[in-house]
């Protein structure tokens, strides 16, 4: 099976927001099933996620969707907390 890879970069207005988002989605760094890896780091105002899969296209796309959904939820929570 081919290895699928994607890098997703989300940029924010400040480092604190980027840190909050990275912290919210980084548990995926440790929970990935066999054949799938998700690594998220913060670099300045950016949150960078690298997804690698040997599990098939459907799982790869679902993982990206889950990651973006988690980031969106975290963004909404940050917005509510900051008022």
Measured between alpha carbons, how far is 21 from 71 in angstroms, rounded to an integer?
Answer: 6
Domain boundaries, the chain: 4-78
Token pair, residue 46, equals 């950016």
The pair phi, psi for residue 38, each rounded to 5°, is -130, 120
Quote the percentage of the chain above a pLDDT of 90: 73
H or E, element range at 67: helix 57-82
pTM of the model: 0.88
Could you report the per-residue pLDDT of 49-70, keeping only the tens digit for each?
999 999 889 989 999 999 999 9
Superfamily of domain 4-78: Alpha-D-phosphohexomutase, C-terminal domain (3.30.310.50)
Is the confidence at residue 3, as pLDDT, over 80?
yes
**Count of alpha carbons within 13 angstroms of residue 15, beta-carbon side:** 3
């Amino acid at each position: 099976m081919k290895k699928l890879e994607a890098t997703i970069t989300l940029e924010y207005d400040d480092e604190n927001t980027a840190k909050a988002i990275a912290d919210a989605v980084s548990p995926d760094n440790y929970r990935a099933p066999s054949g799938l890896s998700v690594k998220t780091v913060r670099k300045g105002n950016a949150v960078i996620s690298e997804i690698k899969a040997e599990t098939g296209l459907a799982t790869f796309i679902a993982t990206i969707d889950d990651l973006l959904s988690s980031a969106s939820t975290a963004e909404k929570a940050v917005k509510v907390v900051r008022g």
